[in-house]
């Protein structure tokens, strides 16, 4: 009886339990086999493969959404893409050296183009749904913000975009995924096919155990056949692993054979090409889509001047248009120049092509604020010098921007070519400055870039020669100014040798060249800017070579200080540089007072670095916007033209010390004493407030310590702090003749210390010996005699000289300390009384000033007399005025009596 119709007896239940256990065992064994199969087919992939696979899948999704213009899903996919790229950044920085993958840049460029296309289609935007239009605005904003970090990569990609298809992108991604799987040469499978695939194996039907009679076996006739087949299979394989491995079908084997054949054919082609190359040179592979160079002329074309000019116009007409390959344009122009030279079409045509090559090189860099590439810079110098040599060698070629295009002549002499070599060389000079600003000033790269200045100056010289031969006064002034700007800041030792007659008088120096160029500009220039800049550069050059009187006279005669505020920023920067160098020149020439006057406007602001365009100081609370900071960085001077700021500050503080300390000693008890230098005074006062003052370390502390020593008349300590200390020695070494500057400083310190000593201690002495003062300050006796005489003449010292005894007799006219304090007290009390009277008048409604206001007081009195209760105010005002006048008259009488008494005393003493 079949078990399906059993009633469920005990024996049958036991047998059914046995069957259940058997089936459970079979299931467990089958489960174990599936585990083994998964372990065999598991592939270990690197983090790079996982991240790249994630990125490529999201990029494919974005492309699908773009095809149907599903903007909301595109937005969500873009957000997923940014997050996936953020996760992949560590892998990219490690594996790719921080270079963004090409397929990712391509995706961003395509997405940007898609958004721009949809955004520019206004009619299509109107028909978008509300959700799509809202998502478009959000997507556009996020993409524009995100791609700012990839601007350089995107610009390089757009210059040479790849034309690979989506399938090729997938192949690239899969190759990167399967790179670790290895190449099985025996199987002939590509790395892309080495990825694990899902195994489609039909589960084997487990035959139930025949525990019953033959009736049960009637339903399972086909089992015998399957058993025989399975037995054959079991005999075929040695173990269970080989039985469950995937087997390649015939179709897959054929595909593999085809792939092998293709690979072999490609290898054979490559070998043939290598054998055909006789020279054996390597071919340069251009990254991205290769654009075939168009043919210049047909084979049978007759090449003449009109044809070449027409081709030149055709090439240059693409200038500035969208999707123009600027590199290809430069190559075509060079090829056209070679064709013109081969067919001897004339020098005028060659000059025209040269000028267009220069324009094309300038157009290659679209961002004006950024410098051009070094390869283009070297090419530009070469083409510029070649064109100018052609112009100088052929005087019958006239090149000017005033020549119209229809009036150009290339066949018969004189030849007329439209163009402006002056504008080209001015742009060349500006590009050179940009290259210098881009480099690190403390690196070797800056030095190598600075060597190009020789070629730039040579190019300017060639243009100068051309315009001296045929050029207007305005053009000559412009090119003269360019040469002046490369010459004015350079020191020429021959100038000082010529002054000392160490070289012949006929030797030409940089000062002579500057005089010639500047005087021509003074006479012929029509614009104020060129003349102003020429004067400033001329003064700077004179000051650098210690021509103090010539530089000072130019400043005074030009009256530049009156109108400099209306000039452009570059001219104002040059004015500040001129004043700084003029102050250094005055200091070297022992004009300390003039040096202080020249430097005070720069140093009192505390921003000499910004005023001289040598750097930007950090601003608080974002006072300077990003655009303004960018503009100010463009105005900065190259590093080799900088003026040492530490030297400027040191010269300013030392000059202020030599002027301020004697003045403080002379007016110690004067309440209305003025400050000569506010900066120095603040440094001095801040040092006095410190409870503990250690040895000086910085340059400012050295100057303050020297000032304190000078205040006591100790010139040796003052000189040690200023001249002989190591920190300040480095500063003075920046001068051309540092030893002479140190000697000059020591001499000044001795003289000013002597004056300070006499001001401070004159009330102690009745007479002082001049030889003893000369010995004390190591000065010659005539010099001491001269200093004291000047002090007496200027009424700074109340004394007289006794020549027979060589002494200084003090008149004791200076008040003692108690008398000086009493005078200060009287002044303060007088001021207090005046303030009280003014406050009282304000409370009573009197707004008239003191002084000669008697008529106004009378008119006020008469006006108030007509009003009720107003008589007392006018009467009080008149009484106050009378009392004031009486006090002033009494005081004048007292002063007059004192003067008369003093005159009588002096007469009696004589």
Which domain-ending residue is among 719, 743, 761?
761
Sign, Cα dihedral of 260, 262, 268, 273: negative
Say yes or no to pLDDT of 179 above 70: no
Contact (Cβ atoms closer than 8 angstroms) between residue 799 and residue 811? yes
Sheet with 767-769: list strands edge to edge.
Answer: 767-769, 807-810, 799-802
pLDDT in tens, 296-334: 777 777 888 888 898 899 888 888 777 788 888 899 999
d(CA 300, CA 305): 16
Question: How high is the pLDDT of residue 812?
Answer: 67
Contact (Cβ atoms closer than 8 angstroms) between residue 85 and residue 104? yes
- Of 591, 524, 611, the residue nearest 551 (C-alpha): 591
465 and 496 co-located in one domain: no
- Higher-pLDDT residue of 148 and 281 is 148
323 and 450 co-located in one domain: yes
- Phi and psi of 109, rounded to 5°? -65, -45
- Higher-pLDDT residue of 583 and 229 is 583
Question: How high is the pLDDT of residue 165?
Answer: 41
- Dihedral angle computed from the Cα positions of residues 761, 767, 773 and 776, in that order, rounded to the nearest 10 degrees: -60
d(CA 854, CA 614): 59
Q: How many structural domains comprise the chain?
A: 5
Contact (Cβ atoms closer than 8 angstroms) between residue 387 and residue 355? yes
- Of 429, 476, 477, 481, the residue nearest 453 (C-alpha): 429
- Angle at which helices 326-342 and 305-317 cross, to 10°: 170
Tokens of 160: 């040479």
d(CA 359, CA 331): 13
Q: Exposure of 487 by Cβ count < 10 A (0-12 exposed, 13-18 middle, 19+ buried)?
A: middle
- Dihedral angle computed from the Cα positions of residues 516, 517, 520 and 522, in that order, rounded to the nearest 10 degrees: -110
Neighbours of 659 (CB within 10 A): 18
d(CA 844, CA 846): 6
The DSSP line for 849-885 is PSSS-HHHHHHHHHHHHHSTT-HHHHHHHHHHHHHHH
Say yes or no to pLDDT of 181 above 70: no
652 and 548 co-located in one domain: no
Tokens of 589: 């020439």
Task: Name which of 183-187, 796-800, 805-809, 844-848 the model is least confident about.
Answer: 183-187
d(CA 348, CA 341): 11
Say yes or no to pLDDT of 485 above 90: yes
Residue 22 banded pLDDT, cuts 50, 70, 90 = very low
Which domain-ending residue is among 471, 503, 535?
471
d(CA 380, CA 365): 13
The DSSP line for 96-149 is STTPPPHHHHHHHHHHHHHHHHHHH-HHHHHTS-HHHHHHHHHHHHHHHHHGGG
Apex 788 CA angle, 710 and 716, nearest 5: 25
Phi-psi region of 419 (alpha: psi -120 to 50; beta: other; left: phi over 0): left
| Domain annotation covers residue 824 | no
Say yes or no to pLDDT of 641 above 60: yes
Question: How high is the pLDDT of residue 1?
Answer: 42
493 and 458 co-located in one domain: no
Say yes or no to pLDDT of 251 above 80: no
Tokens of 56: 């490529």
Say yes or no to pLDDT of 506 above 80: no
Apex 782 CA angle, 777 and 786, nearest 5: 90
Task: Name every residue whose Cβ is closer than 8 Å to that of residue 45 and which is 6 or more positions away in sequence.
Answer: 177, 180
321 and 457 co-located in one domain: yes
In the chain, the percentage of residues whose pLDDT exceeds 90 is 28
598 and 692 co-located in one domain: no
| Domain annotation covers residue 189 | no
Question: How high is the pLDDT of residue 120?
Answer: 85
Residue 264 banded pLDDT, cuts 50, 70, 90 = low
Say yes or no to pLDDT of 870 above 50: no
423 and 499 co-located in one domain: no
| Domain annotation covers residue 381 | yes
Would you give the DSSP letter of residue 409?
B
Neighbours of 265 (CB within 10 A): 10
| Domain annotation covers residue 813 | no
Prediction pTM value: 0.61
Task: Name which of 464-473, 640-649, 801-810, 835-844 the model is least confident about.
Answer: 835-844
467 and 494 co-located in one domain: no
Cα distances (Å, whole numbers) of residue 794 to 750, 788, 799: 20, 10, 11
323 and 440 co-located in one domain: yes
Question: How high is the pLDDT of residue 99?
Answer: 80
Contact (Cβ atoms closer than 8 angstroms) between residue 435 and residue 380? no
Question: How high is the pLDDT of residue 647?
Answer: 92
Question: How high is the pLDDT of residue 674?
Answer: 77
pLDDT in tens, 395-438: 999 998 888 888 888 888 889 999 999 999 999 999 999 999 98
Q: SS3 sequence, 531-585?
A: HHHHHHHHHHHHHHCCCHHHHHHHHHHHCHHHHHHHCCHHHHHHHHHHHHHHHHH
Question: How high is the pLDDT of residue 486?
Answer: 94
Question: How high is the pLDDT of residue 542?
Answer: 94
Contact (Cβ atoms closer than 8 angstroms) between residue 879 and residue 900? no
Q: How many CA atoms lie within 13 A of 783 on its CB side?
A: 15
Which domain-ending residue is among 761, 777, 803?
761
- Higher-pLDDT residue of 17 and 387 is 387
Q: Exposure of 11 by Cβ count < 10 A (0-12 exposed, 13-18 middle, 19+ buried)?
A: exposed
Residue with tokens 């950090």: 618
| Domain annotation covers residue 259 | no
Contact (Cβ atoms closer than 8 angstroms) between residue 574 and residue 533? yes
Question: How high is the pLDDT of residue 379?
Answer: 93
Average pLDDT on 122-129 reads 82
| Domain annotation covers residue 604 | yes
Question: How high is the pLDDT of residue 840?
Answer: 84
Most confident of 37-51, 381-395, 610-624, 795-809: 381-395
Question: How high is the pLDDT of residue 289?
Answer: 45
- Give the ranges where 365-414 is alpha helix by DSSP (H): 374-393
Say yes or no to pLDDT of 477 above 70: yes
Question: How high is the pLDDT of residue 880?
Answer: 53
Task: Name which of 197-201, 230-234, 840-844 the model is least confident about.
Answer: 197-201
Which run of H or E residues covers position 808?
Answer: strand 807-810
Question: How high is the pLDDT of residue 500?
Answer: 82
Residue 899 banded pLDDT, cuts 50, 70, 90 = low
Structural domain harbouring 120: 47-178
Apex 639 CA angle, 491 and 438, nearest 5: 140
d(CA 540, CA 637): 15
Contact (Cβ atoms closer than 8 angstroms) between residue 353 and residue 342? no
Question: How high is the pLDDT of residue 294?
Answer: 64
Contact (Cβ atoms closer than 8 angstroms) between residue 538 and residue 514? yes
| Domain annotation covers residue 592 | yes
Question: How high is the pLDDT of residue 851?
Answer: 44
| Domain annotation covers residue 788 | no
449 and 320 co-located in one domain: yes
506 and 606 co-located in one domain: yes
675 and 539 co-located in one domain: no
Question: How high is the pLDDT of residue 249?
Answer: 55
Question: How high is the pLDDT of residue 417?
Answer: 92
Contact (Cβ atoms closer than 8 angstroms) between residue 483 and residue 541? no
Task: Name which of 169-183, 281-295, 441-455, 586-600 the model is least confident about.
Answer: 169-183
- Higher-pLDDT residue of 200 and 758 is 758
pLDDT in tens, 363-382: 888 777 888 888 899 999 99
pLDDT in tens, 699-720: 888 899 999 999 888 899 999 8
pLDDT in tens, 507-534: 888 999 999 999 999 999 988 899 999 9
């Amino acid at each position: 009886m079949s078990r399906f119709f059993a009633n469920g007896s005990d024996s049958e239940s036991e047998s059914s339990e046995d069957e259940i256990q058997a089936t459970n065992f079979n299931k467990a064994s089958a489960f174990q086999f599936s585990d083994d199969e998964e372990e065999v087919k598991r592939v270990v992939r690197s983090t790079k493969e996982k991240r790249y696979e994630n990125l490529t899948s999201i990029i494919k999704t974005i492309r699908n959404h773009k095809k149907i213009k599903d903007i909301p899903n595109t937005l969500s996919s873009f957000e997923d893409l940014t997050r996936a790229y953020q996760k992949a950044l560590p892998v990219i920085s490690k594996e790719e050296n921080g270079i963004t993958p090409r397929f990712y840049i391509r995706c961003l460029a395509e997405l940007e183009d898609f958004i721009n296309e949809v955004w520019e289609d206004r009619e299509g935007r109107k028909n978008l749904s509300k959700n799509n239009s809202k998502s478009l605005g959000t997507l556009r904003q996020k993409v524009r913000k995100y791609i700012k970090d990839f601007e350089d990569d995107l610009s390089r990609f757009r210059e040479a975009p790849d034309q690979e298809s989506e399938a090729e992108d997938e192949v690239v991604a899969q190759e990167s995924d399967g790179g670790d799987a290895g190449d099985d040469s025996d199987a002939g499978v590509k790395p892309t096919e080495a990825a694990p695939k899902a195994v489609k194996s039909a589960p084997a039907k487990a035959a139930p155990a025949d525990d019953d009679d033959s009736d049960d076996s009637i339903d399972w006739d086909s089992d015998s056949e399957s058993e025989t087949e399975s037995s054959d299979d079991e005999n075929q394989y040695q173990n269970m692993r080989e039985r469950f491995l995937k087997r390649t079908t015939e179709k897959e084997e054929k595909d593999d054979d085809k792939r092998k054949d293709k690979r072999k054919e490609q290898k054979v082609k490559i070998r043939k090409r290598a054998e055909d190359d006789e020279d054996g040179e390597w071919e340069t592979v251009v990254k991205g889509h290769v654009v075939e160079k168009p043919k210049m002329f047909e084979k049978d074309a007759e090449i003449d001047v009109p044809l070449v000019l027409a081709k030149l116009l055709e090439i240059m007409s693409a200038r500035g248009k969208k999707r123009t390959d600027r590199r290809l344009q430069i190559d075509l122009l060079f090829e056209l120049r070679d064709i013109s030279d081969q067919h001897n079409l004339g020098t005028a045509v060659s000059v025209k092509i040269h000028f267009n090559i220069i324009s094309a090189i300038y157009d290659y860099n679209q961002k004006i604020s950024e410098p051009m590439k070094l390869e283009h810079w070297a090419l530009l110098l070469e083409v510029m010098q070649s064109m100018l040599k052609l112009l100088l060698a052929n005087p019958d070629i006239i090149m000017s921007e005033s020549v119209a295009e229809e009036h150009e002549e290339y066949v018969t002499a004189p030849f007329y070519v439209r163009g402006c070599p002056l504008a080209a060389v001015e742009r060349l000079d500006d590009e050179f400055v940009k290259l210098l600003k881009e480099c690190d000033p403390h690196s070797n790269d800056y030095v190598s870039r600075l060597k190009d200045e020789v070629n730039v100056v040579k190019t300017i010289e060639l243009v100068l020669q051309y315009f001296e031969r045929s050029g207007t006064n305005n053009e000559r002034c412009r090119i003269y100014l360019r040469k002046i700007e490369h010459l004015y800041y350079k020191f020429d030792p021959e100038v000082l040798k010529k002054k000392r007659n160490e070289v012949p008088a006929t030797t030409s120096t940089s000062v002579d060249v500057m005089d010639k160029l500047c005087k021509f500009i003074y006479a012929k220039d029509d614009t104020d800017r060129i003349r102003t800049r020429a004067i400033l550069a001329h003064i700077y050059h004179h000051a650098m070579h210690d021509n103090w009187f010539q530089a000072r006279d130019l400043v005074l005669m030009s009256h530049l200080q009156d109108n400099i505020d209306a000039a452009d920023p570059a001219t104002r920067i040059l004015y500040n540089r001129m004043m700084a160098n003029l102050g250094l020149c005055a200091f070297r020439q022992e004009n300390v007072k003039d040096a202080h006057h020249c430097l005070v406007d720069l140093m009192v602001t505390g921003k000499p670095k910004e005023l001289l365009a040598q750097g930007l100081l950090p601003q608080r609370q974002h006072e300077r916007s990003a655009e303004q900071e960018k503009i100010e960085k463009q105005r900065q001077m190259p590093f080799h033209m900088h003026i040492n700021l530490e030297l400027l500050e040191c010269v300013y503080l030392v000059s202020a010390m030599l002027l301020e300390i004697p003045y403080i000693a002379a007016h110690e008890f004067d309440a209305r004493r003025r400050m000569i230098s506010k900066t120095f005074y603040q440094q001095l006062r801040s040092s006095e407030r410190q409870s503990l003052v250690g040895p000086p370390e910085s340059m400012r502390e050295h100057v303050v310590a020297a000032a304190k020593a000078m205040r006591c008349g100790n010139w040796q300590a003052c000189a040690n702090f200023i001249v002989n200390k190591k920190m300040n020695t480095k500063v003075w070494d920046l001068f051309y003749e540092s030893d002479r500057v140190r000697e000059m400083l020591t001499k000044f310190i001795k003289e000013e210390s002597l004056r300070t000593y006499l001001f401070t201690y004159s009330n102690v002495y009745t007479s002082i010996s001049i030889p003893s003062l000369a010995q004390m300050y190591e000065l010659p006796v005539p010099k001491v005699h001269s200093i004291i005489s000047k002090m007496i003449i200027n009424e700074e010292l109340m004394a007289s000289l006794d020549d027979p005894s060589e002494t200084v007799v003090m008149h004791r006219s200076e008040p003692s300390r108690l008398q000086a304090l009493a005078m200060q007290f009287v002044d303060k009390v007088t001021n207090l009384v005046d303030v009280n009277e003014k406050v009282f008048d304000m409370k009573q409604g009197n707004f008239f000033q003191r002084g000669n206001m008697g008529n106004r007081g009378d008119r006020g009195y008469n006006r108030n007399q007509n009003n009720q209760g107003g008589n007392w105010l006018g009467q009080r005002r008149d009484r106050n005025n009378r009392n004031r006048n009486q006090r002033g008259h009494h005081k004048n009488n007292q002063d007059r009596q004192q003067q008369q008494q003093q005159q009588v005393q002096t007469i009696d003493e004589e």
